[in-house]
Amino acid sequence: MDKDNLIYSLEITNGYIFRQIFELYVRLVIQTVPIFFKEDGITIRTGSGSKNSRRIISNIEIATDDIIEYYFNEDLANIKGTEETSSFTVEQFNIKEIGDNFKSITKTGAIRIYKKKDSKHANVEFKNLTTDTSWLECIKFQSIEYDLSSFDSLDESPNIKIEINQFCSVMKSMTRGKPEYISFKVFANGLIIESRNSNGDLIKKSEWGSTEGKFFETRANENVNKALCKINNMSVNGIVKFYSNQHKYLKMSHKIGDFGEHNIYLIDEIIED
């Protein structure tokens, strides 16, 4: 294929892991997702919830050195760079359309996504024993600014690390009993997760590490919990890192297969009576 006619092209051999990213967004009832294609990597950033509420922001970075093929034509970028910034292309896709298309990706399948100059859609190739093709409509990008400045003061080292399958098993158990919210209490070297009903009564509790002394609490709604209990599909046998140094702000981080990293930001700005 003539690269001069390509805006971008990426191929990921572990297509099934890539598919799990968008299944997370389906669970969070997110409608559209922007993907940023840059010379040095790919960023996927979206979120759910609104100001003065409990919300989640998902930021995914894909390292182009760790995927089988990546090409980006800076000259055809739809966002031109300045002296301080580099050019990039941003595409916005409908989550339902992605979900419907990506269901065909098997655990051994690969995926290639590329876009040609002057095209209004991105081409998708599903590679397994045979290669099937489809396309995704590129819809108008609606810029949303996610303020993550409250996380700037976090230490580089996490408060605690937990095996991801264990974490997801606990989160799944927290869905029982019709909880109103999930509480994360982060200590210097420990963590308590609780599910509570609308009266604040405790339904279930799990803890790790040292849970004595000062802690920082962040609450998340039930739909966030249902999404978090599946993140191990992106990182088999991985770990989740937890960071917090103030109430209402929690960062979690985990690897995505062998090609990316997922940072999850929970913000609890709900105004209570």
Domain 3-137 bears CATH identifier 3.70.10.10: yes
Q: Specify the pTM.
A: 0.93
- The residue ranges of every structural domain in the chain are 3-137, 155-268
For the chain, how big is the Rg over CA atoms in Å?
20
Query: Which has the closest alpha carbon to 89: 81, 99, 101?
Result: 81
High-pLDDT (> 90) share of the chain, %: 85
Query: Does residue 272 surpass a pLDDT of 80?
Result: no
Mean pLDDT for 11-30 is 95
Instruction: List the one residue out of 125, 110, 6, 127 whose CA is nearest residue 67.
Output: 110
CA-wise closest residue to 109 among 233, 13, 19: 13
Residue 49 has pLDDT above 80, yes or no: no
CB neighbourhood size of 43 (10 A) = 16
Mean predicted confidence (pLDDT) in 99-125: 95
- pLDDT at position 273 is 43
Fold assignment, 155-268:
DNA Polymerase III; Chain A, domain 2 (3.10.150)
Q: Which residues of 142-174 are buried (b: 16+ CB within 10 A; e: fewer)?
A: eeeeeeeeebeebeeebbbbbebeebbebbeeb
